[in-house]
Chains A and B, each alone.
Chain A
């Protein structure tokens, strides 16, 4: 074959590849729209024989499910934003993120027990706002310091070696999980919400726990602070510049090492705040570290690694799927709910292989 013919063949192959990719996009987008429309129709009208029932006949149940999804998404966002922040700037996949979540939860529980003065049967009435907030701060601060030490000792000198860093943090997570099992035992522990936030409000005939709304409020506050920090301060500007082109930032004479350390610290603080909230929301036990690593991974795979916007989108989508799929599947099939997490992942990856707001590295 002559060189020209070969080049022609290559061009037509490439054109075919682009057509295939476009087709896949089209299928993905339309698939997503059709699936969403069908799901909405199902939830609104047809969902008889499901735990909640059609939204038109039970708007309260629908609203409760919606709020469950949004409030859970808030917690997801707090945890996953820390994970994605660290990855975005340093390309470090912190597989110990879930361990830091669990450690902060355990520490916060211990501190709260100390402040209330007993180790069991702590009622919300016994807990003042202070004896909830102080444990959260202590837990987050401790894991943030541990995370920072981990970064300085194990991760700083091998920057850019993604797999090596991921494996180092996996090793640390294995060690931490084992040591936490030794120190805190295998039983589930819970932190208690302050009495001031444990009431019920009635929406469309459905009672809803204000503690979950409080959790959403904290998440919104965290999100707002993150937004201000990243978009309105000098350090946030440096971080965003570093996400785009770290070497250029370095070349401009900016102390990148300091910015990296602060970012890692903040990322771990977010894991810690999430851990303490998660402990108040559903309790924690051995294995919660893995669950929350998984939750963070799902959120950032959907939303795109390194993007805060993506963390918001990913948390909302994943939170909705986890709330709606068990509520609106026919009762005898409710155990298939987990499939929908996979369907969500598959749909998103078909359209955007690096997540909704992600970019190929």
Chain B
């Protein structure tokens, strides 16, 4: 195990322990409305990072799987309600059913999009999300425009604290699992496809299949996050699939740094914190940034990040860590991605150094 990996693991462990102990010291509001939301949005955004970092596919469609899981759970678990199928199943069966439907949908959509790479994928997945919006808004037997309400979580996790630990557990599993996957042969092949799909195809790799499977896995994890969301929220409506939330999820990943798994949760924290605490910052209302203009602020933040450092906050932190003394804890063991479009070939065997840089210029038509 290289020193850097050890350091990352230790950092992750420390962060996990701190997060696990945090509810002892902070208010219930903070846990429920900031931390749980952060973990759940971070988990969903991490699937975008997974697809972008390993597969070179930037997806705007993850919100769809997030929502499908919620809708399916709501339809299956409710016994009687104004809308939905009201199947009245056991909550755990409902959860498994929701994940199965979500994963199957992801497989179908992944198969349809698997031969279109690059920027096409971004557009196609946005179209998926919006078709999902219209589907749920129009198909009144499943949802209808006002959605499904009064959904309760399974009895085992029906307190906000337990929900928080569920979100934490799933986040830790996803973080560790996604990173580990990068070192398996599947992850390696995926990264090869990201770098040069034609070469991988001529080596005999089924490019479309690998892309479709990666998309399926990402859909499954986004579905897990969607379950936590519907347990936390108690309701789900079609508006949670439309263009706005689809962009929000990508924006979260971009703020944190779309090539870093930790960036997903960092971006989610920034987003949720800005959403909750913008109004209490001094003087922001003087410059016209009231909470009504929250989206303008988020847009400006993303614009700033994309103009200055496409690697997001984690990328910025690593660059700072590389130049200040004692900054190695920021994870500065890795060279920041070169901005001039040259790619340093990965000489390390652990795979995590094979990284995206957003700024490849030498080949038109490739992203990441």
Contact = CB atoms under 8 A, between A and B. Distances in A.
Contacts of B306: 164, 167-168, 171
A171 B138 contact: no
Interface in A307-361: 335-339, 341-342, 345-346, 349-350, 353-354, 360-361
Given A338-B134, A360-B365, A349 B112 contact: yes
B361 to A, nearest CB: 5
Interface string B275-301: 000000000000000001111101110
Interface stretch (A46-54, A56-64, A296-304): A296-304
Nearest to B118: A361
B302 A174 contact: yes
Query: Which label, helix, strand, loop or mixed, suits the secondary structure of the A interface?
Result: helix
Interface stretch (A133-141, A153-161, A265-273): A153-161
Interface residues of B, number: 55
Contact of B299 (A91, A178, A349, A353): A178
Given A175-B300, A178-B295, A161 B358 contact: yes
Contact of A294 (B122, B127, B300, B303): B127
B120 A354 contact: yes
Contacts of B296: 174-175, 178-179
Contacts of B113: 349
Contacts of A360: 117, 365
Given A10-B203, A163-B358, A174 B299 contact: yes
B247 interface: yes
Interface residues of A, number: 53
Nearest to A153: B307
A290 interface: yes
A275 to B, nearest CB: 17
A166 B118 CA distance: 12
A300 B138 CA distance: 25
A293 interface: yes
A338 B132 CA distance: 9
A361 B364 contact: yes
Query: Which label, helix, strand, loop or mixed, suits the secondary structure of the B interface?
Result: helix
B359 interface: yes
A182 interface: yes
Contacts of B292: 182
B243 interface: yes
A177 B306 CA distance: 19
B307 A168 contact: yes
Contacts of A17: 201, 204, 206
A172 interface: yes
Interface string B301-325: 0110011001000000000000000
B361 A161 contact: yes
A91 B366 CA distance: 10
A115 interface: no
Contacts of B44: none
Q: Which of the listed residues A17, A162, A172, A298 has the most CB atoms from chain B within 10 Å of its own CB?
A: A162
Nearest to A83: B123
A190 B112 CA distance: 37
Contacts of B302: 167, 170-171, 174
Nearest to A168: B306
A239 interface: no
List the 3 closest pairs (A to B, CB-CB), nearest first.
A361-B365, A174-B299, A175-B299
Interface of B: 58, 112-113, 115-120, 122-124, 126-127, 130-131, 134-135, 138-140, 201-204, 206, 242-244, 247, 250-251, 254, 292-296, 298-300, 302-303, 306-307, 310, 358-361, 364-368
18 contacts: A17-B204, A93-B123, A162-B365, A162-B367, A166-B58, A166-B367, A170-B250, A171-B306, A173-B299, A174-B251, A287-B243, A290-B130, A294-B243, A298-B127, A335-B139, A345-B112, A345-B127, A361-B365
Given A167-B254, A170-B251, 6 more contacts: A159-B361, A161-B358, A174-B298, A174-B299, A290-B243, A360-B117
